Every structure is written in structure tokens, then in C-alpha cells.
Amino acid sequence: MLSSRMNDALNGQVNAELYSSYLYLSMSAYFEARKFRGLASWMRVQAGEELVHAMKMYDYVVSTGGRARFPAVDAPPFEWSSPLNVFENVYNHERKVTGLINALMDMAMAEKDSNTQAFLKWYVDEQVEEEESSGGALNKIRAAGTDTKAIQSFDKDMGQRKFKFPRGFVMFPYNQETTIGSMK
């Protein structure tokens, strides 16, 4: 059973993950409007991943007897000064999320909540990947500078990323026949 304090903190992180999904979807729309289809696709994949992160945490809260609550998700920005500025924001955002996850882990350790510590280990590892991925993308767009061909190549490369729900991920756990697009 989760402590009230841990329950509230995990709910806060669900909100942060939903905000991340919103943010990346907003970035995708920014790139769509500028005809950077590959970058738009990369951001859309990132939005999907963040939604999965939120649902995974929601499922943990519920499975441990906690109570999920949903405050409003803040509206993300929708304009950036350049594609470089977008990726600077992505990298900084992922570093912020790493701090949030680390704070959750610290709380779980302080409360001697070994189940939540074990659960959060996946998020700790995931944030290493997120910072590496976003930092790598930032370095590539910085290297492209104002070279139009380099930016077009970067856009094309980023569009290769695909989204696949993780193995075992279930969006609708009580009705396995329900699929998105045919909700009953």
C-alpha cells in the first residue's frame, strides 16, 4: 500500500508525464507547420512514449491500492524561435524530468518503500536514455547550423523513428477486444 505522500507524488508525476506528452505533441505541430515532417514524426513518437510512461505510472498507483487523481495539465508552449530552440527545450525538459524521477526515488528510499523503488528503477534507466537521445539530437541540429541540406538530412533521419507500444502494454485492461478507433 502506498503512503498518502507517495500516492500524491506519483499522481504528480503522472501529470508531469502527461504534460510531456502534450509538450511533444505541440512540438510536432510546430514542425508540421514548417513542413519538417521527419521532426514532426519524431516528436509525435516522443509524445506517444510519454503517454505510455503516464499510463505505466497510473497502473502502478492503482495496482498498489492508491487513488489516481488528475489535476489539470498545463498548456505547453506552441512557438519556438527555431528548430534548434525546440531541441534545446527538449533536452532541458528531459533533464527536468530526470530530476523529478530522482526526487521520487529519494522519497521512496526515505519511506523504505522497496516496491516503489523497484518500480521507479525503470524510470531512472529510461531517463538516462531520454537524455542521451535528446542530447544527441541537439548536437546533430547544432552541427547542421544553417546548412539547408544538413537540416533536410537531419529531418529525414529523425523521421525514421517508429513508435510501438511496449510488449505487455494494455491500454484497456478490462476489455481486451476494445481497440482505439472501435471503442465500445
pLDDT tens digits, 52-100: 999 999 999 999 999 999 999 999 999 999 999 999 999 999 999 999 9
CA-closest candidate to residue 74, choices 21, 30, 6? 21
pLDDT at 184 over 90: no
Measured in degrees and rounded to the nearest 5, phi and psi for residue 58 equal -55, -50
The identity of residue 102, as a single letter, is N
Q: Is 8 exposed, middle or buried (0-12, 13-18, 19+ CB in 10 A)?
A: middle
What is d(CA 123, CA 130) in angstroms, rounded to the nearest whole number?
A: 10
What is d(CA 180, CA 124) in angstroms, rounded to the nearest whole number?
A: 30
Taking the CA atoms of 69, 71, 72 and 78 in sequence, report the sign of the dihedral they define: negative
Distance of CA 28 to the CA centre of its chain: 13
State the pLDDT confidence band at 1, using cuts at 50, 70 and 90. confident
pLDDT tens digits, 118-177: 999 999 999 999 999 999 999 999 999 989 999 999 999 999 887 666 666 666 565 555
CA-closest candidate to residue 57, choices 1, 11, 104, 125? 11
CATH 3.40.50.620 is the classification of domain 4-158: no
Residues 6+ apart with CB under 8 A from 92: none
Residues 6+ apart with CB under 8 A from 151: 83, 141, 144
Positions of E strands within the chain? none
Q: Where are the alpha helices (DSSP H) in 64-158?
A: 83-110, 114-144, 148-158
Distance of CA 105 to the CA centre of its chain: 18
